[in-house]
Structure 1
Amino acid sequence: MEQIQSEFNYRKFLIFSLVPMALLLNQANVIFGVNTSLSDFFLFTTILFFPLKKDIRLPITVILFILVLTGSVIFTSFFWDTFHFHFYADPNAVLRGYMKIVAVFLYFTVGYNLARLGLISNILKWFSIGAVCLGCLSLLATFITIPFLQDIVFYGGNRFRGLMNDPNFFAVVQSTALMYFWENKSMKLKAKFINCLILILSLFNSGSKTGMVLLVLIFIFKGIPVVFSKNLNKQKLTLITLFVLIFAVLFFFFVTYFTVLLDELSQIIPSFQRVTELFTNFEGAISDSGSTRDLAWGNASQLIKFSPFIGIGIGTYSDLALFLFDNSTIAHNTYLQLAAEWGTILTIVFISYLFYHMLMAFYSSKEKSRDSKIVHDMLLPFLVGSLSLSLNNARLFWLLFGALVFLTGLNNKDFNKELRDKRWRNVN
């Protein structure tokens, strides 16, 4: 009886820390040159409690990778860059860069162990609720000017960014919450529709071209399986037919009055002006309006060519790019950023490990934890968004990745038994 009570108190404490941490995953700002989130405080209270209970585990492959990565990036930053580029790294910048690696590794650890304890669904739910609340705020702020909030939640005066430091990052996070509600089978259809609609409208309000691409891909990814499902009944088939007919009519109308509609929408939502460039001037959408991704990608590619195998280290990217190219813009592409900083060898190892677990979740049977399917779908916006943004330090991504690694490794009998036992004690 005492053991059960102790277990109950343990889980109660974790949930108490998880709810604010989950909500605050929707917030991130740069303070003293470091991307900081208030969720970090609750992360540390959670991560410090695991060892006290002797209840923390990680795959040995992950631990070895972190150790190798640590040695590699420190050597590269302080020794290789000096020898190869005649560039002397700023120790403070390297320290800040390494602290980011430590922080995301801790989020990975928490995600892995929360999935092991059967608590990952709690944090996903509360994170998504927080995203919907910010979506409601974006709609309110569009029609009602709130002076003291303008500088906080808007970028450039008209692009909603929520509590993030960048509207594009905000769009990726909202897309992640959208995937959660879309995939959640336990939620009533009406509530699911309302939440998804709020998140979609907040994406428009962000004025993010990346967000619009994500939205289209989400509709394709989630819509095609429904259309070709073998379990279609007459009611579903009728609804799909009506939807296709309505969509065809609207599409014809949209094409006919294409320019007019875009202009009208831009008048209602000023931030949407940037999105219209995807349709009217795609090349300009990549290089103009503050994106300059063509230049950023070119610089990143050059850095990779200069040091392909071991990279340039951490905390050195902007200063070294300024030193070599007279431009300090970061890569605006997670894959290029990692390849430039970590080197292609460690980057390929990491990406292969990530995609292996993504495929494991995609092809997993229905008998396995439904959480793995939700986590898999929530990671997709990060993988696509990483093509145009540097998301290698995104906290939510690493927490989800940690959970995915455990959930796709449920063939381990000891973990399966432990998870069942913990859930049984929680129910009783």
Structure 2
Amino acid sequence: MQQLAQPISNTQERLLNLLLLLTGIGLTQSMIIGGLNFSYADIGFLGLFILLVYQHQLKIPVVLTAFFLLIFILRGIVSVWYLPLITPQVTLNIVPSILKYSLIALYFLVGFSLAQLSRTLVAKLLRYFIWSNVVIGLFGIAISLLNLSSVFPQLFTAFRYRGLMNDPNYFSMLQLMSVPLINYFYPEQTSLRRTANLILISSALLSGSKSSLFGLGSLLLIYSLLTLIKSFRHGQNLKLLIISLTAGLFGLIGYLWRTTIVSTMTFIGQQNPALERISSLFFTDNPLSGSGSGRTDAWHHAFELLKSTNGLGIGFNDYGQVAYLLFGSPVIAHNTFLQIAVEWGLLFSLLFFSYLAWQVLRGLVHRDSLTLALTISLLICLTYFLSISLNNSRIFWSFLGFWIVYLNQTKGGTLPYEDFNYYGHPQR
């Protein structure tokens, strides 16, 4: 661990560990208070921020800070001057959005500073996070198997398990984001790792989130591609042939037995409403609008907002209010890419996502195993970006802070895949 600028007392060390515990566990919990999304992690982040400032260890990345300051200025100009010109009926109510924007800066700076300060501190926080998810997931599985959901209604949205989160989709994302981190921390403990992964994936599916199926598919695809690249670099032609033949065989079986597979999935779905909701992806004409999803209209409204503001967005004005005034519906985008585009403007959002895409490519071939695990976790998060609004997500911005540091800490950044095992750890 790097030394703090001022000597740290035993009391401060205990406070630091307590704040890491509160933040790691708090990332698995959220509630709505006064119209704002609150988590105990917010207390942890604020405490860590104050402690980092006190110890002169708050690190500020100059280029990224300048970029986000430019966004702040643009959003302010759009809110106060531009949007009232084209939509005079909009009420200037920008304080909540400014507060949310300030909070994502706090999440990012705390994550960035912790990663600069000590890898051990980040590891502690991540362990608290993943094991909280495992415990919450296991509890949900037990409740569902014992048919006790009515005894714990606060953990469900109708029939959908949401743990301590206020949204089942967000809950399922946290579960799947924990999988690569479990693989990173426990590469040699096969039974523990597989059991934890089974719990995380099963509880994600219990959420009834259609996005969980896409997230799980992304996870499998990423690990499959990493394995293929490793085999190719190693010149393991036989292994490549076996993988290709296996994939082809499964595809052929899926085609020939498609009727049986559909019947089986229908039967499984009938056993649990959450699984039935997920299975509607395969059996409805428009899965984006079926079973309460209603994504297509929300996405259309986002495109119309960009068009009506000439790509400058709505600034700090309330998305729901502007959407209601223009389209008679206060529904937000339910797509983080679109929501950020509408709030930041087209230019800055494209720059940000282009930067993110480049960093993801770097992360997938990075020599550091924790960087690879965080890259996969963030790719799961980006998959969920397509279907829910996570622009103010504390998990995304804090993980982004960790990740940016680790991406740039190792000079040279990449090594051949054959130097690593399946989970990104150096071969012994």
* Normalised TM-score (structure 1): 0.86
Q: Do the aligned residues in 1 keep the contact of 2:143 with 2:149 (CA within 8 Å)?
A: no
Secondary structure in structure 2 of the residue aligned to 1:257: helix
Listed as ranges, the matches of 1:43-58 within 5 Å are 43-58=45-60
C-alpha separation in 2, matches of 1:341 and 1:213: 26
Aligned-residue offset at 1:380: 0.5
**In the TM superposition, what whole-angstrom CA distance separates every residue of 1:356-391 from its partner, at most 9, and x where no partner exists?**
322232233x2xx32211211110111111011111
Cross-structure match for 2:167: 166
Aligned-residue offset at 1:246: 9.7
Asked if residue 218 in structure 1 is aligned to residue 189 in structure 2, the reply is: no
Structure 1: unaligned runs, 5 residues or longer: 414-428
C-alpha separation in 1, matches of 2:18 and 2:246: 43
Secondary structure in structure 1 of the residue aligned to 2:113: helix
Aligned-residue offset at 1:14: 2.5
C-alpha separation in 1, matches of 2:112 and 2:336: 22
> Which one of 241, 257, 264 corresponds to residue 261 of structure 1?
264
Listed as ranges, the matches of 1:86-105 within 5 Å are 86-91=88-93, 94-105=94-105
Aligned-residue offset at 1:255: 2.7
**Distance change >3 Å, CA 28–CA 243, structure 1 → 2:** farther
Aligned-residue offset at 1:7: 5.1
Listed as ranges, the matches of 1:15-414 within 5 Å are 15-91=17-93, 94-117=94-117, 118=119, 119-146=121-148, 150-155=152-157, 157-184=158-185, 186-227=187-228, 229-230=230-231, 251=254, 255-281=258-284, 283-364=285-366, 366=367, 369-410=368-409
Structure 2: unaligned runs, 5 residues or longer: 413-428
C-alpha separation in 2, matches of 1:128 and 1:302: 39
Q: Do the aligned residues in 2 keep the contact of 1:78 with 1:89 (CA within 8 Å)?
A: no
Aligned-residue offset at 1:410: 1.5
Q: Which amino acid aligns with 2:205?
A: F
Q: Which amino acid aligns with 2:102?
A: V
Aligned-residue offset at 1:158: 0.8
Aligned-residue offset at 1:235: 13
Secondary structure in structure 1 of the residue aligned to 2:27: helix
Q: Which amino acid aligns with 2:222?
A: F
Q: Do the aligned residues in 2 keep the contact of 1:184 with 1:374 (CA within 8 Å)?
A: no
Secondary structure in structure 2 of the residue aligned to 1:48: helix
**In the TM superposition, what whole-angstrom CA distance separates every residue of 1:102-145 from its partner, at most 9, and x where no partner exists?**
11111101111111122222212211111111110110121234
C-alpha separation in 1, matches of 2:381 and 2:333: 16
C-alpha separation in 2, matches of 1:253 and 1:120: 48
**Distance change >3 Å, CA 265–CA 147, structure 1 → 2:** closer
Q: Which amino acid aligns with 1:391?
A: L
Secondary structure in structure 2 of the residue aligned to 1:202: helix
Secondary structure in structure 2 of the residue aligned to 1:55: coil
C-alpha separation in 2, matches of 1:241 and 1:349: 37
Q: Which amino acid aligns with 2:100?
A: K
Identity across aligned pairs (percent)?
Answer: 27
How many residues align? The count is 404
Aligned-residue offset at 1:202: 0.8
**Distance change >3 Å, CA 203–CA 177, structure 1 → 2:** same
Q: Do the aligned residues in 2 keep the contact of 1:277 with 1:284 (CA within 8 Å)?
A: no
Aligned-residue offset at 1:221: 1.4
C-alpha separation in 1, matches of 2:59 and 2:257: 54
**In the TM superposition, what whole-angstrom CA distance separates every residue of 1:39-82 from its partner, at most 9, and x where no partner exists?**
11111111100111111111111221232222222222232221
**Distance change >3 Å, CA 248–CA 88, structure 1 → 2:** closer
Q: Do the aligned residues in 2 keep the contact of 1:29 with 1:35 (CA within 8 Å)?
A: yes
Q: Which amino acid aligns with 1:19?
A: L
C-alpha separation in 1, matches of 2:256 and 2:190: 29
Aligned-residue offset at 1:316: 1.9
Aligned-residue offset at 1:196: 0.6
